[in-house]
Amino acid sequence: MNKLFLFFALLLFFTIDLSAQTQKGPDLKKLDAYFAKMVADWDVPGASIGIVKDGKLVFTGNYGLIETGKPAKPDENTLYAIASNSKAFTSAIIGMLVQEGKLKWNDKVKHHLPYFSLYNDPWISSQVTVRDILSHRVGLGTFSGDVIWYKSEMSSENMIKLAGKLPQAYDFRAGYGYSNLMYITAGELIKKITGKTWGENVKERILVPLGMDRTLTTAQDLANTNNVTTPHGRENDKNFPIEFEDWNEIGATGGIISSVNDVAKWMIFNLNHGIHGKDTILTKATRNMVWTPHNNFMVDHTTKNDLGRHFAAYGLGWNLGDFHGKFMVGHTGGFDGMITAVTMIPEENLGIVVLTNGHKSPIMAATYYAFDQFLGTGTKDWSADLLVRTNENQKNDTRIAYMKAKRVMDTKPSLELSAYTGTYHADVYGNIKVLLEGGELVILFENSPRLSAKLRHWHYDVWEIVWDEKHAWFSFGTVKFQTDNDMKVTGLEFQVPNDDIFFEELKPRKVMD
């Protein structure tokens, strides 16, 4: 889910693939020491890093802890949620279906999923293609609608139907808006065409053939699995453990759980352009399609940049660009309590996977430093540089501080507490209930029970949202009860500062007292 470049911490343990010591190339002991210091500097609970070169896993480094406060340490088989790195698996399966003649890249989504729609616009809804939903160019804003699926108990089909009621951010095919909901749509498309779930397709078509025997497509299988890292949220510069989320229903956008050893097999397969042993799993046409720019980003050609970058784009499930003139392809992933990255330079047959179990994570610092060491492209201290930028960005995020500074003390609600209770309906979500329990207001989200919270009076007709459980992407927030000229409560207005789960999109109106 996108926000997705935060960074790391606390060295307690590391391992190196000793066979890598005999390989030509950079000093792997130096590389490992750099990663160890980086983890400590960034204060991420734990990390596992792997580097593949010329078809082999030549380096593994494991740092920190599986869970803060406990002695277990990660290794190359420790499982992490790789989140949106799963999108490349989704586009690969779509490519296989195209190869089999069961689908075309330019097929209209609505032809296969008749309930699919966007913006109450029949024409746009009828024109959206498979390539459109895989390249984030349908017109939705980045992360728009994530509040629909976040911790939701709805079916994917219902999520997709609600997505059709989200506001349009820009003209169809005229910009980039990273959309998890469109990948959820791709998962349902796969299910409709094959009669099997996205997870079943991933296992049968990719995991089993590649020997990725530690990789899971659902957290529901974790109960029978060992060596699994713990996700961590972060608040007041402290890491705290949180529960592993179940993304089974939305797996196509970010459901895979994997390890350094297994992701290395995935990278080697991709660097070999879809060929595994003697089996051509992805044809040249498919490889070229998913690695072709479908959505281009502007690059400032008037000034130098740190990557020596000339272009940046999104393909189908992959970020595309260049690193000092060499084609670079990859993705990042943001899961509740875990940040990850998979990045490759195909012409050098080189790739790096960085898996971390915290929200302040140096995924790209590790990636770029490793590339520099293998390619001889620079001596930049990426960890130090990006840590300064990250700390500055966090320091400059004054949204919550501003809200708290604007609080007016010693005010009272305009109405009796009972006047605020009732059922509120959001077109893009469903029903939200406000109840009076034990003399205080509580708020309940019917599709996402774990978002329940107590409401503590803030000022006037505004209440602070005191969540019943801690959440990874947001903490402080308020909700305002809107009234008409007769002082009758008409709706809710949320303000929950964060960069992904936009409660402000809900705009619920009161439908029942």
Identify the pLDDT of residue 24.
59
Give the integer Cα–Cα distance in Å for 196 and 376: 46
Please check whether residue 289 is in contact with residue 277, taking contact to mean a CB–CB distance below 8 angstroms.
no
Instruction: State how far the alpha carbon of 459 is from the alpha carbons of 67, 408, 509, in Å.
Output: 39, 6, 21
Residue with tokens 């997505």: 163
* Secondary structure (H, E, C), 229-267: CCCEEEECCEEEECCCCCCHHHHHHHCCEECHHHHHHHH
Chain centroid to Cα 117, Å, comes to 24
32, containing H or E segment: helix 28-42
Give the integer Cα–Cα distance in Å for 206 and 145: 29
Q: Which of 255, 256, 265 is nearest to 353 (CA)?
A: 265
Identify the pLDDT of residue 25.
78
Q: Transcribe 319-339 into DSSP letters.
A: EEEEETTEEEEEEEEEETTEE
Walking along the chain (513 residues) 10 residues at a time, the average pLDDT comes out as 36 30 72 98 98 98 97 98 98 98 98 96 97 98 97 97 96 97 98 98 98 97 95 94 95 98 98 95 98 96 92 98 97 97 98 97 98 95 97 96 97 97 98 97 97 98 97 96 97 97 98 93
Residue with tokens 């044809």: 283
3-state SS class at 182: helix
Q: How many CB atoms lie within 10 A of CB 349?
A: 16
Q: pTM of the prediction?
A: 0.93
What is the tally of helices (H) and strands (E) in the chain? Answer: 16, 22
Give burial (CB, 10 Å; 0-12/13-18/19+) of 226.
exposed
Q: Transcribe 219-231 into DSSP letters.
A: GGGGGG--SBPPP
Identify the pLDDT of residue 22.
35
Which residues is 353 bridged to in the sheet?
Answer: 50, 342
3-state SS class at 365: helix
Q: Which of 311, 317, 339, 343 is nearest to 330 (CA)?
A: 343
Report which DSSP code applies to 129: B
Identify the pLDDT of residue 2.
43
Q: What angle do CA 358, 362, 365 make, to 5 degrees?
A: 170
Instruction: State how far the alpha carbon of 296 is from the alpha carbons of 87, 180, 277, 321, 368, in Å.
Output: 18, 19, 34, 10, 22
Dihedral sign of CA atoms 195, 199, 203, 206 in order: positive
Q: Which of 332, 333, 357 is nearest to 343 (CA)?
A: 332
372, containing H or E segment: helix 363-375
3-state SS class at 102: coil
Hey, what domains does the chain have and what are their CATH numbers? 18-93+193-396 (3.40.710.10), 404-512 (2.40.128.50)
Dihedral sign of CA atoms 278, 279, 285, 289 in order: negative
